[in-house]
Amino acid sequence: MPEKKATVMIVDDQPTNIHALASLLKVDYRILTATSGERALVMARGESPPDLILLDIVMPGMDGYDTCRRLKDDEATRSIPVIFVTALDDVEDEEKGLNLGAADYISKPFSPAIVRARVRNQVTLKLKTDMLEKISLQDGLTEIPNRRKFDQKLAEEWGRARRDGQPLSLLMIDIDQFKPYNDHYGHGAGDECLKRVAQAMAQTLSRTSDLLARYGGEEFVALLPGTDETGCRHLAESLLEAVRSLQLPHGLSDVAPHVTVSIGGATHSARTPKTNPETLKKSADDALYLAKQAGRNRYHHESGYASPITD
């Protein structure tokens, strides 16, 4: 079993049925219960969604088939495996459940050993899938989110910003003169530099809504939801300072005796007509170019704001 208990949600309109399954599974899993399909949907979309749902078919109101259909239609709950638990033992019912995307089927009266085995199989599979998903969205070297994760998050936050009328800021960040650093100190030291810079910046962006990702090579990107130009400027200055404070020696830099970054920022607000996430990225990239042109180790915003030089 994994160190942290996986969570199984049992959905059944009969509390005695819930009790029977819960008593079988509560040693190995954290148990959530719901006595209706409606309630199950709310809980599955909540803060701590289950890793598996055991779903009764015959329930008043929203039945198990309907509940399953809605779980599978919603991006947020689609990946949670569903096992139907039912007294219906007709082959057609089983087929219907599986066609709706259910992972498995348990008929009542059930054998405790078989319930445990089927639950264990699905939970193991789910945890593996989650782990692979996490790995596929993470940069292997710096252990911060990768470009794929960033692009997903940008699409989500762009939609949210448009709905809520909230500003959305984006920073493009480059380590200054990284190629000479790599050539001079070697790739091992270069990797270490990338990790240290990534960690220092990740610690600086402490709000859970902010996302720092490695965009490729020595390029990073930060997405700052709900952040206007002023907030964006403060965060960018903090990032510049966090990297300077590492005091990683850089003998070949003509910017400073230590490793520095250049940052370009752009802000989408309800007032600025920006057509899509790509234009926001392009604006931040253009601002980054200006920060480099002006001598690096500084921040430039698309609006024309440029940071004062501090070292």
Report the catalytic residues.
218
Stretch that binds Mg ion, among 51-59, 149-157, 167-175, 187-195 (CB under 5 A): 51-59
Locate 131 and state its tokens.
């782990």
Q: How many residues in total does the chain contain?
A: 311
Decide if 170 contacts 284 (C-beta within 8 A). Answer: yes
Nearest approach in angstroms of CB 65 to Mg ion is: 12
SS3 234: helix
Is 128 exposed, middle or buried (CB count within 10 Å of its CB: 0-12, 13-18, 19+)? Answer: exposed
* C-beta closer to Mg ion: residue 18 or 212: 18
Q: Which of 29, 41, 43, 56 binds Mg ion (CB under 5 A)?
A: 56
- 235-274 positions binding Mg ion, by CB under 5 A: none
Tell me, by CB under 5 A, how many residues bind Mg ion.
4
Stretch that binds Mg ion, among 53-61, 139-147, 189-197, 290-298 (CB under 5 A): 53-61
Nearest approach in angstroms of CB 13 to Mg ion is: 4
The yes or no reply on residue 137 touching Mg ion (CB under 5 A) is no
* C-beta closer to Mg ion: residue 69 or 282: 69
Question: Does residue 298 come out as left (phi exceeding 0), alpha (psi in the -120 to 50 range) or beta?
Answer: beta
Nearest approach in angstroms of CB 32 to Mg ion is: 17
Q: Which long-range contacts (CB under 8 A, 24 or more apart) does 215-219 make?
A: 215/147, 215/150, 215/172, 216/147, 217/178, 218/174, 218/175, 218/178, 218/194, 219/172, 219/173, 219/174
Nearest approach in angstroms of CB 97 to Mg ion is: 14
- 9-28 positions binding Mg ion, by CB under 5 A: 13
Nearest approach in angstroms of CB 64 to Mg ion is: 8
* C-beta closer to Mg ion: residue 56 or 218: 56
Nearest to 31 by CA among 42, 41, 19: 19
Considering only CA atoms, give the Rg of the chain: 25
Q: Which of 5, 30, 36, 58 binds Mg ion (CB under 5 A)?
A: 58
* C-beta closer to Mg ion: residue 18 or 171: 18
Decide if 37 contacts 59 (C-beta within 8 A). Answer: yes
Stretch that binds Mg ion, among 8-16, 101-109, 182-190, 210-218 (CB under 5 A): 8-16
Stretch that binds Mg ion, among 6-14, 170-178, 181-189, 231-239 (CB under 5 A): 6-14
The backbone torsions φ and ψ at residue 226, rounded to the nearest 5 degrees and listed phi first, read 65, 20
* C-beta closer to Mg ion: residue 12 or 174: 12
The backbone torsions φ and ψ at residue 192, rounded to the nearest 5 degrees and listed phi first, read -60, -40
Nearest approach in angstroms of CB 67 to Mg ion is: 12
* C-beta closer to Mg ion: residue 65 or 181: 65
SS3 103: coil
The alpha carbon of 218 is separated from its chain's Cα centroid by a whole number of angstroms, namely: 22
CB atoms within 10 A of CB 262: 26
List residues near Mg ion by CB under 5 A: 13, 56, 58-59
